[in-house]
Amino acid sequence: MDTGTHIVMGVAISGIALADPVIDVETTTMYAAISGIMVGSLIPDIDTVLKLRNNAVYIRHHRGITHSIPAVLLWPIVLTILLQFIFPGANYFHVWAWTFLAVFLHVFVDIFNAYGTQALRPFSQSWVALGVINTFDPYIFIAHVLAIALWSFGFDPLSTFISLYAIVFLYYLLRFAVKSAVKNAVSHRLPDATEVIISPTLRFFQWRIVASSDEYHYVGRAYGRAITIYDQFKRKPIPDSPEFEIALKDRNVKAFTDFSPIYTWEMTQFEDVCEVRLVDLRYRSNNYYPFVAVAHIDKDLNVINSYTGWIFSEEKLNKKLNFVHH
């Protein structure tokens, strides 16, 4: 989920924590626990700082080890130890328990996004991505804001936030049901599809669709059960060329291929360089596919520049690559 949603979830958990009799009567423990909850609601996303290095590192590792089983167990312990220095005398166990709940819920809700997490590490390196809730879901966010507003107006926090999460639970079930209906509609529309990826959007009934058959990749949208196919790409085997072989070893391109399950490719020969471009088909926006990996290989088979990430125009991509077409 996005940072804003994790924050309002932290506030909601803090409201529920006030029902803990120890926190209710011990002011120091209350401050420590709420601090642990708020930091714990955000700390798994500390790997966002990897963007400062480069996109390849960020793409390969975001929501990886920081969302793993060891991390979920370790973050609450580290935070509780630190909070003992800031709030000496706080009840260690209760601070740890509520901090653990905040960290666990952060990772748990992230698995319902299309991006997913490596939440099963170290037992599995696979990405757990159920793809039923958009990274920012306005309904979930607004429901939390309304519940927090009711709390600020004097409503009982326990009953308010328990009611909130009962509604959110039913909302999740409804999203699963809608996605299942969309998947059935795609199966009828594209009976030859062997792989289908359905991703949520900001709109409740609108979903992104990428499907593959033995011959084609299909890109479209679902509006309820109505399926619209926008683009169709002929599936092409990766060429057996030295340029492509070199490109696939580049760190940016490799990060892309490790992350993207369905993509198409292009290879263009310019005067001095060969451009190898991979295009992720899951993120079509305004007739453009913004998530790409590009490598430029010179005549001596050296990668002279490369890039992976989200780019919304060729001009910006060429600036990133410091490349001018000849």
- pLDDT, position 258: 85
How wide is the angle at C-alpha 137 spanned by C-alphas 261 and 177, nearest 5°? 70
Query: Would you give the end-to-end CA distance of the chain in angstroms?
Result: 43
Neighbours of 301 (CB within 10 A): 12
**Would you list the domain boundaries of the chain?**
3-130, 175-232, 242-321
Query: How far apart, in whole angstroms, are the C-alpha atoms of residue 262 and residue 279?
Result: 9
CA of residue 44 relative to chain centroid, distance: 12
Cα–chain center distance at 266: 27
Take residue 42 and report the two structure tokens written for it: 């955000």
| Coil, strand or helix at 207 | strand
**Helix 27-40 crosses helix 69-86 at what angle (to 10 degrees)?**
140
Rounded CA separation 93/205 (Å) = 44
Strand 216-223 relative to strand 291-298, pairing: unpaired
Q: Answer yes or no: are the C-beta atoms of 318 and 307 closer than 8 Å.
A: no
Whether the predicted pLDDT of 324 surpasses 60: no
Mean pLDDT on 10-16: 96
Dihedral sign from CA coordinates of 322, 236, 255, 64: positive
pLDDT single digits (tens) 199-208: 999 999 999 9
pLDDT for position 11: 97
pLDDT at residue 27 greater than cutoff 70: yes
Name, in order, each residue with C-beta under 8 angstroms of 317's C-beta and a sequence gap of 6 or more. Answer: 292, 294, 307, 311
Q: From CA 150, how far away is CA 137, in angstroms rounded? A: 20
CATH number of 175-232: 3.10.450
Distance CA 63, CA 104 (A): 13
What's the rounded mean pLDDT across residues 88-113?
95
**Predicted confidence (pLDDT) per residue in 213-256, tens digit:** 999 999 999 998 899 999 999 998 888 889 899 999 999 999 89
Span 273-316, pLDDT tens digits = 889 999 999 988 888 899 999 999 988 899 998 999 888 777 77
For the chain, the average pLDDT equals 91
Give the single-character DSSP code of 37: H
Using alpha carbons, select from 30, 26, 31, 43 the residue that is nearest to residue 79.
43
From residue 189, how far is each of 44, 175, 186, 206 by CA, in Å? 40, 21, 5, 16
Residue 280 tokens read as 């992720």
Top pLDDT among 128 and 79 is at 79
pLDDT at 323 over 70: no
Among candidate residues 125, 147, 102, 151, the one with its CA nearest the CA of residue 1? 102
User: Residues near 153 by Cβ (< 8 Å), separated by ≥ 6?
Assistant: none
Of 7-16, 61-70, 130-139, which gets the smallest average pLDDT?
Answer: 61-70
User: Which amino acid is residue 178, in one-letter code?
Assistant: V
Q: What CA–CA distance (Å, rounded) separates 135 from 269?
A: 38
Note the pLDDT of residue 325. 55
- Rounded CA separation 311/289 (Å): 8
DSSP state, residue 52: G
140: left (phi over 0), alpha (psi -120 to 50) or beta: alpha
